[in-house]
Each structure stands twice: as structure tokens, then as C-alpha cells.
Amino acid sequence: MTATIRPCRPDDAEALVRLIHELAVYEHLEDFARATPDALRSHLFGPRPFAEAILAEMGGEPAGFALYFVTFSTFRGQPGLYLEDIFVREAYRGQGIGKSLLAAVAKEAIDRGFGRLEWSVLDWNQPAIGFYRSQGAQPLSDWTVYRIDETSLQRLAELAPPRI
């Protein structure tokens, strides 16, 4: 049986939240998984979508997903796609679903005339690292990802000058 890859629809929000929770468990980040079906419906399918998702199905059952959004490279002067998450449920791994999801996102970037596809991977996730390298991906060893969220984000925002 082959996986079907299709764009997520608003009625997929519950299934997508379940897949996100499974990803969080796999990454030992369950405490950070706060996505709700309503939030996904609002942010993926609302008046101004912030991201897009595709769903992999096997026999009509959700097997995995990829979630991505548009970025922009100042140096290239060109947009790209950032793959926020890609996940295949354990029971469906080893069947080419991850490769199909990644290829579908890459095709989306090419079809839109974008210059690149980027993502981050946890440094302990050797199966993912091996998979990405087998697809031609190279780590950017000279870049470090930084993040500000929650209280630090609020404190920093309070320092912003008034908008003109």
C-alpha cells in the first residue's frame, strides 16, 4: 500500500493535533505541546494563514505530516520554505512516507520558485540526521539557532520604541 500525501484541511485539525502530540512524545517535549484544533484551524486556515501542512495517509488513516512556512533570505533576495516539523508515526516508518513528505515540501518550494528549504533537527536524533543526509541535506555547522519565548519575549517587547 502506498501513502497518499495531500494538503491538510480544517477538518484535519484534530488528527494533526494528535500527530503533533506523538511528535512531542518522540522528542521528549510533551510539556511544550500546546497546539489545539482551534488554534490550528485559526493559524493554518484562517484569513491570514501563517503556515501550511500536508498529511500522509495510509488506508485512510493519518500516518504522518509536514508543517512548513515561507521565509525570506536577505542575501539571496528570494523566499524559501522552512520545514517546522515532519513526523511519521512509528507504525508507518520505513515505508518511504518521510521521504514522500519531504519531497512534497521540496516540490512546493520549487513550484513556487523558491531558493531553498531549511529545517532544524535535534542533535540527538540520529535516525533523522541520517535520513536528511541521505537526501542531500547538509548541516549548517557555522550557525546556532537562538530562541526567545514566554517571559523573555514579553520583557524584550516592552523595550520596543513606539511605532510611527
Contact residues for 24 (Cβ-Cβ < 8 A; gap 6+): 30, 32, 33
Instruction: Order the strands of the 52-58 sheet from edge to edge.
Output: 4-7, 52-58, 61-73, 78-88, 117-119
The single residue of 26, 92, 132, 146 carrying the catalytic annotation is 132
132 a catalytic residue: yes
**Cell numbers given for 160:** 520596543
Interhelix angle 37-45/13-26, rounded to 10 degrees, is 110
Catalytic residues: 132
